[in-house]
Every structure is written in structure tokens, then in C-alpha cells.
Amino acid sequence: MKKAYFSKRVYKKSINKEYVDAITHALHLFNRSKHFAFQTQILEKRSGKCKRNESLHLTVKKRFELNDYYANSAVQEANSLIKSQKELQKLYISNKEEQIKSVKKKIKSIKNRFTTLTKIKSSFVKGTPTFNKTSREQQKGNFFVVEFKTKTDVYFHAYQFEHEYLDVQITSFKNRLGRLEFRLDRLNKQLISIKKNNKSVVFGSKKLFKAQSTIADYKNDHNLWQKEWKQGRYNKMTISGRKDAKSGNFVFTYTPDSKSLHFTTPNGVAVKIPSLSFPYGQEKVEHALETQFNMSTKMKKEHGNAVAWSIEDHGEYYIIKCILSIPENNEKNHSKSEGLVGVDLNVDHIAWSNINEKGQLIKSGVFLFDIEDKKSGQITKIIEAEAIRLVDLAVRLNKPIALEKLDTTKSKVSNPYGNKKANKKMSMFAYDKLLSAIINRADKMGVSVFEVNPAYTSQIGKIKYMKRFGISIHQAASYVIARRAMGFKEKLPPVLHLLLPEKIVGLHHWVQWKWISTCLSEVFVHSFYQIELSFTSKDYSMSNIFRPGALTDLVEKGLSKKESRKTIT
């Protein structure tokens, strides 16, 4: 595992001006060579031709008059960037396909509603108004009603219903279909473009490049923008390490006794940075370098530690990074003999459940936090604090942690037509950052982290355990996650199993949970506190498993379509 240790700030005024100029020149030359190596490969891919007679390494070395170590690192950085672009391309393709899928799904649902309304309109034209049994539009006596989740609209006669509701809705759906089909066509074209093109990179960031014509300060003072632009393009240099090097790197040498860093720039200046310390890893840096220094040449080839060094220019000061290969902590607590701590991560809280070795719930709780309207740095600090709370809980309980193995990149683009409030929360959900913080803290504290398949954890918790334990849906989900990590299976209660269609009775229990959760998707979460999973009625339907009054009329009407094909005998 690679880990970077940050030094304290090295202010430019504290070191020799000659060294500052040499470092500035080295940063500029290194980044130019990296840009050249990257753009050369991109142009060759686009044209399908290679105009070089020599390898890229030799071309960069001769063109920029670099030694082997600087040239090799520049080419490696360019290759890493190309590799990351390929991974990004896969991600963009995946996201675009998910967007296309969601638009097609929306078009299908709009067409269904459009067809239903068109049939109702035709029946009104013929003078015999007719409605589907499960439609939200119904005729009750002399009135026409439209039932929504939170309200019911009443129309007093057919003319009012036809012209104030039906005509407006049909026109609206027709327009929406046109816009959706246009969006689908545009997404398909974007997908083709992403698959075909080899996109380049704007070094210095696209945002800063556009700022020259959008930000008032830069528009009025182009020299200010050029200064910031150069700072953004030429502010970082990373020199890769070598296992066979005396100190793990042929360019940089760090002396633990004097805490000084030495390296020679491409123009031959021997730079010395005194009193360089690493506040959050000094011992590990020194240990790694001393071990590498004392190791024999033969041992280095197999067990050596390549030490990479990075210099970042932040204007008034430098930050030096030492990048080491750290072996994984072998003293972690992997034992499940006493149970687990299951964790469900959410946008504004962490729900956890402590279970014993039999899968029984001991205690459950929630760690609340608020990241709304916070900046990136503030969010990072809040998340790190919550990760510390969670891991410290696991340390006190002497149990490992179980988490869901989620991919939120697709889910953030898969439901653009859903609830606005839910979509905003989903976009705020810093899942990867939260997961990384927990894993890093757990590794430091010797706590093992298990990742499980997230399939139907929330649905199982909501239907099966939320009422039983009197906990929230997220706490119930964390309980299911813990049980799954322990190896327990969550089968349907007998009452729900008897409601299944015959064709899925013998299939995997996840398929059965999918069918049940789809049937109950329109039921409000709070209604599951009134679900009854243990009674002996011999004839019941999906809506009968809830207490009288727990469901709205509209929801009951929807559940009536899902009546069981079986009856208890």
C-alpha cells in the first residue's frame, strides 16, 4: 500500500535564493517534458502513426536535456495520466449508459400515462366515460376525482374534467415526450463521441483556463491570469523511486540525523533543504530509509523499498511529500467470534448496529453530522471526525466493522427525474470520502473492515426488522449488513413467502425480496411500523399485512393488483 507523508511548510524565504530559482526551473522543465510526453502519445493515438525513430524516454531526454531519472519520471507521470484518462472514459461511458437507461425508463412511463389519458379522452368523446380500475382518475357518482398521494382533486362535471384536466395533461405529456426524445438522441450522440475520441487534458485545469474570459479580475489584468496559469501548470514534480537505490531514490537523499533533504536539479544545482520534518510520519520515513540504506544490494532487488519524492509549489512555500510502500497492518482484529459492528453510511448520519456471534442485536445507534452548505475542506474534517467516532466504538467493543460495497457514481446519475430533495441529498453524499476515512482510521487502529454486497439491505431491514426492534430504516439496514457479513441469510417471513408468485417461489431469496420490495415500493416508510408478519388469517392479500388505516386509499388500490396467486390451506 502506497502512502504519502507530508512535510511541514518550507518557506522560500528560509532557504537560499539560488535554491528557489533552481527548484522553479526544475518544476518548469519537468512539467514541460511531462506535457510533451502526454501530448505526443495522444497525437499518435489520434493519427495512428508514430513519427519518432527512438523511444519516448530517449526523445524526452534529448529534447529537454534531462538525465535518465528525470526523463523516466516525466514519462511515467504522462503514462499514469493516460491510464487515468482510460479509466475516466470507462466511468463516463458507464454513467452515460445509465443516463440513457433512466431516460428510456421515463419515456416508457410517460407513454403509458399518455396512452391511459388518451383512452379516457376517447371515451369522453364517445359520450361514455370509462376509467381503468387502478387509475388515479375515477368517477364517483356525478363527480370526477383525481387521487394523489397527499391530495385529491374534485371536478364537478364532465366538461370541467375533460378540458381543465385531461386536455392539459395530454398536452403536457406530449411536450414532455418530445423533450425526452431529444435528450435521448443527444445522450446517444455523446456516448458515441466518448467512445470514439481520445480526449486530451488541460494542464492547469479547464476551470482556470476559462476564467481568463469569465472572471472580472483576470479579464482586466491578463498578466495576473498568466501568473496564476503558470502556477497551476508548473507547480508539482514527482520523482519515482528505485528499489536498488541506496536511499530508495537516485535523485533525492534524506538524512534522518540532520533531517535535511538533498537533490540535484536538471541544471546541476545541488539543493539542500535543512530541518525538513514530517509531523505525521517522521518515524516511518526514518525507519524506511534506514532499512533501505542498511540493506545489501542483493536484498534490495527483492525486499527494497522504492521511495518517491514530490515537491509542490504553493506560492510562498513548498510542501515535500515522501511516498512509501507501507506493508498492511497484520495485527488487525479479524475475529467474528464475538460478533460485528454493522454500518450503514448516509448523507447526514452513520447508523450502526452491534450484534453478537448468533446474529442477535445488542445495541444500535446513530452518529449525526451536517455537511449541507459546507466547503470541501470542512466536509473532509467533519467526515474524519465521524470516522474516528465509529472506529473508536469498534475498538471499545473489540469487534471488526462491516460496510456495504457501494458504487455511488451510477446512482448519482440514474434518477434525474426523481424527488428533487432526494437527488440533492444523493449529490451531497460523499460516500467514497467517508469510506476512505473509515478504512484509513481502522487500519491505523488495527480494526478489520469487511465489505458486503449491498443488495436489498435497506428493504430487508425496513420490512423485516424495523418494527421488531423499533429502530429506523437505516439502523435496520446496518443490522442486516452485520448479519450478512457474519454469513446469515435473510429469508422471507412465511407470511410474505405465501404471497409470492409460483414462478419465483424456488428462486434465490434475493429475487424474492426484489419482488416483495417492488410490490411495497409505494408504501410510506412509517407505515412499516404497522406491518403484521405473524397472523393466521386464511385469506389475505398484500394490503392485509398492514393494520387497518395504515395505508392510504391510493396505496391500497395499487397493492390490490399484487394479490397472491396462492392461498393458505
pLDDT at 170: 95
> Across all residues in the chain, what is the average pLDDT?
88
Shared-domain flag, residues 111 and 181 = yes
Shared-domain flag, residues 48 and 157 = no
Whether 84 is covered by a domain: the verdict is: no
For the segment 533-569, what is each residue's pLDDT rounded down to a tens digit? Answer: 876 555 567 777 888 887 777 677 667 665 544 433 3
Q: With pLDDT > 70 as the criterion, what percentage of the chain qualifies? A: 93
Examine the fold and report which residue of 142, 176, 196 is the final residue of a domain before the chain moves on: 196
493 by DSSP, 3-state: which? coil
- The range of the structural domain enclosing residue 279 comes to 2-66+203-325
H-run or E-run covering 298: helix 297-303
364 close to 371: Cβ distance less than 8 angstroms = no
Answer whether residue 351 shows pLDDT above 80: yes
Shared-domain flag, residues 352 and 492 = yes
Average pLDDT over residues 123-145: 89
Shared-domain flag, residues 173 and 214 = no
pLDDT at 564: 44
Question: Picking from 35-39, 48-52, 484-488, which range would have the lowest pLDDT averaged per residue?
Answer: 48-52
Whether 511 is covered by a domain: the verdict is: yes
pLDDT at 453: 92
The closest alpha carbon to 161, from 120, 114, 113, 119, belongs to: 120
Question: Picking from 133-142, 243-252, 499-508, 543-552, which range would have the lowest pLDDT averaged per residue?
Answer: 543-552
Shared-domain flag, residues 112 and 176 = yes
pTM of the predicted structure, to 2 decimals: 0.77
Shared-domain flag, residues 474 and 417 = yes
Examine the fold and report which residue of 148, 177, 196 is the final residue of a domain before the chain moves on: 196
Shared-domain flag, residues 309 and 255 = yes
Q: Which residues have a Cβ under 8 Å from the Cβ of 319 and sit 6 or more positions away? A: 6, 7, 9, 10, 311, 312
Question: Picking from 89-93, 201-205, 328-332, which range would have the lowest pLDDT averaged per residue?
Answer: 328-332
pLDDT at 3: 87
Shared-domain flag, residues 314 and 348 = no
Shared-domain flag, residues 389 and 538 = yes
Query: How big is the CA angle at 293 (ends 288 and 296), to the nearest 5 degrees?
Result: 115
pLDDT at 389: 95
Whether 180 is covered by a domain: the verdict is: yes
Average pLDDT over residues 330-352: 89
pLDDT at 114: 94
Whether 261 is covered by a domain: the verdict is: yes
pLDDT at 282: 92
Examine the fold and report which residue of 140, 173, 196 is the final residue of a domain before the chain moves on: 196
pLDDT at 347: 86
Whether 78 is covered by a domain: the verdict is: no
Quickly count: other Cβ atoms within 10 Å of residue 462's Cβ: 24
For 59-109, give the DSSP string.
Answer: HHHHHHT--HHHHHHHHHHHHHHHHHHHHHHHHHHHHHHHHHHHHHHHHHH
Answer whether residue 100 shows pLDDT above 80: yes
Whether 80 is covered by a domain: the verdict is: no
Shared-domain flag, residues 236 and 102 = no
Shared-domain flag, residues 169 and 316 = no
The closest alpha carbon to 254, from 328, 326, 324, belongs to: 324
pLDDT at 561: 61
Whether 506 is covered by a domain: the verdict is: yes
For the segment 413-458, what is each residue's pLDDT rounded down to a tens digit? Answer: 666 666 666 666 666 677 888 888 999 899 889 999 999 999 999 9
pLDDT at 206: 92
Answer whether residue 361 shows pLDDT above 60: yes
For the segment 488-527, what is each residue's pLDDT rounded down to a tens digit? Answer: 999 888 888 878 888 888 889 999 999 888 888 888 888 8
Whether 83 is covered by a domain: the verdict is: no
Count the domains in the chain: 3
Average pLDDT over residues 53-80: 94
Shared-domain flag, residues 540 and 428 = yes
CATH number for the domain harbouring residue 441: 3.30.420.140
